[in-house]
Structure 1
Amino acid sequence: MDYFGYIRHIYQVLEKKYPNEYIYKNNFLNDWILKKFALENSVVFNEFRVVDSIADLVIFNGCSKVFEIKTILDGEYRLSKQLESYKKIFNEIYIIVPLSQIERYLKFEEKIGVITYDHLSNCFTVVQESTKNLEIDPCTAMNILRTKEYKSIVSQYYGETPEMNDFNQYEVCKKLIEQIPPISFNKMFVDLMKVRKINNNFQKEYKELNQICLAMNLSLKEQDLLYKNLKNLINY
């Protein structure tokens, strides 16, 4: 047996007996995101920071969608705070929860989408659709955008960038961005996220490792080297 064969065996055991967060994320990535979205027009982020929260998976295509995963071992104590952060920046919000615990999570707002995961059948099901919100918070967005990104928004919308320096450019751009109509700003924000250099090189043959490769932002060359090494036989 080679190293990848052993990893696949362990993965299958975890999938049936102990579906931890990695299993949830990787299966959702493979069985939902990669099947429902054309990745040539989308980008997927792993652990996307928003305010004091870190979103499990985020996809930007025509709009922004966030997916927060809760396993059997997770409590609800942080979820309300996470959702409040996500409302400020994402157009659609979904929580992914075990099928056996659906009642615990349906009590949250009706605007929040809920997806269940049955680890026995490896099936994801939308129980409650997310309500789309296109009015994102400029202040929250400014803390996500890089300097050249928020300056490009100002230049794109106003046709030029005003006189500024390294000390005041953040505040100058922030005031101008706050005056952009919400729908227009949301589109510009999504478009900028889509062109960030995130490696979305997902493999069908090695699908058990897609989440690891996304988390490490591995290039195709780095992935090829990883898979080559994992095809070596295990010496017992």
Structure 2
Amino acid sequence: MLNPTQLSALSRMFSSSVISEIAKKGQSPLFSRLLSEASLFEFYDADNVTIGDAFDTAFSLLRRSGLRNEYVYRSALIRNVLLGRHSLRTASMLTEFRIGSSKADMVILNGCGTVYEIKSDRDSLARLESQIENYRKAFSKIYVIAGTAHIQDILEKTSEDVGVMSLVRWNRISIVREAKENTDYICTATIFDSLRLSEAIDILNELNIDIPYLPNTLMRNAIRGIFTKLNPIDVQNCMIKTLKRTRNLAPLSTLIANLPSALQSIALMVQLRSKDRDRLVETLNKPLNEAFKWV
């Protein structure tokens, strides 16, 4: 049975700071400290086990029912939906995507855009209604994915058009209620506020709308004003097309193929330079005893 310190250490191993540090420096003192705090790998022959193997073992413990954190849910969605139904060539993904006053845990962009809100067994449902209210303003399909303990409450708290998924096992998702497309609440101002200015300008170009020639200090407010007058469905369709291009994940295909399965999800969430990707793969293939030298 894991104690709170061990559980916290295991969860933090899958943070962007750890992966970025390994990728940029070829070592991570933070990972070494977490490895020690987890107290799970002392029995290994550190010469014959790789650093990547250590991540796989940590993930195998985190994905047990009752311990599943948000990363386990993200990994299940990426495995089953992004890489299962689609591919990095045909779909893209956004994480922690700002929509109104909320951040969507995950948005998968294919022909349409679908928001996935994660509620692990340890999460509260207190903000769920306001989160869904925000997500409706940018995307027409929403799913809430949760542990079995939350499913009934979520079904009761959400309307029939909001889909509900259950993480039955760490790698198997069951659809409890299908999401239905609902474009009634799409808000062009909310969409604009979620985008980079360059993406908003690309959308106007796609819609054949003239771009005002203004100083940078005035441009954002001017473009926002134009967005508020546009057809919401047209803007949403162009937003999905634009984001699939600007947030394209296809260049990461080679990296994903060379990573331990436990790290494929975090690699899609962290921006790394090409040389850092190579360093990450190289370091993960080193013996685990190398990590004990990083402290």
Q: TM-score, normalised by structure 1?
A: 0.89
Query: Secondary structure at 2:269's aligned position in 1?
Result: helix
Which residue number corresponds to residue 133 of structure 1?
182
The Cα shift of 1:41 comes to 2.4
Determine if contact 2:50/2:288 at 8 Å carries over to the other structure: yes
Of structures 1 and 2, the one scoring higher in RCO (CA 8 A, sep 6+) is: 2
String of CA shifts for 1:61-105, please: whole Å, max 9, x gaps: 211111011111011111111111101001210000112431111
Distance 1:156 1:23 in 2: 37
The more displaced of 102-111 and 26-35 is 26-35
Determine if contact 2:199/2:243 at 8 Å carries over to the other structure: no
User: Which of 164, 172, 176 in structure 2 is aligned with 1:123?
Assistant: 172
Matches within 5 A, 1:10-159: 10-16=58-64, 18-107=67-156, 108-119=158-169, 122-134=171-183, 136-159=186-209
The Cα shift of 1:167 comes to 4.3
Partner AA of 1:2 in structure 2: T
The Cα shift of 1:56 comes to 1.0
String of CA shifts for 1:115-151, please: whole Å, max 9, x gaps: 10013x6310111111212452111011112222222
Verify: 1:187 aligned to 2:241, yes or no: no
Distance 1:10 1:166 in 2: 47
Which residue number corresponds to residue 211 of structure 1?
265
Determine if contact 1:67/1:94 at 8 Å carries over to the other structure: yes
1:219–1:116 Cα change, 3 Å: farther
Distance 1:167 1:226 in 2: 39
What is the count of residue pairs matched by the alignment? 235
Verify: 1:3 aligned to 2:57, yes or no: no
1:162–1:229 Cα change, 3 Å: closer
Query: Secondary structure at 2:262's aligned position in 1?
Result: helix
Distance 1:87 1:114 in 2: 15
Which residue number corresponds to residue 34 of structure 2?
none
Q: TM-score, normalised by structure 2?
A: 0.73
Query: Secondary structure at 2:77's aligned position in 1?
Result: helix
Aligned-CA RMSD value: 2.2
Determine if contact 1:113/1:131 at 8 Å carries over to the other structure: yes
User: Which of 217, 228, 246 in structure 2 is aligned with 1:196?
Assistant: 246
Distance 2:198 2:243 in 1: 12
Gap runs ≥5 in structure 1:
none
Partner AA of 1:56 in structure 2: D
User: Which of 247, 268, 276 in structure 2 is aligned with 1:222?
Assistant: 276
Gap runs ≥5 in structure 2:
1-48
Distance 2:182 2:231 in 1: 14
The more displaced of 127-136 and 183-192 is 127-136
The more displaced of 9-18 and 157-166 is 157-166
1:73–1:155 Cα change, 3 Å: same
Determine if contact 2:161/2:182 at 8 Å carries over to the other structure: no
Determine if contact 1:96/1:117 at 8 Å carries over to the other structure: yes
Distance 2:270 2:242 in 1: 21
Partner AA of 1:217 in structure 2: Q
String of CA shifts for 1:168-219, please: whole Å, max 9, x gaps: 4334333333333232222111111111145452525522102211221235
1:166–1:223 Cα change, 3 Å: closer
1:106–1:2 Cα change, 3 Å: same
Partner AA of 1:12 in structure 2: S
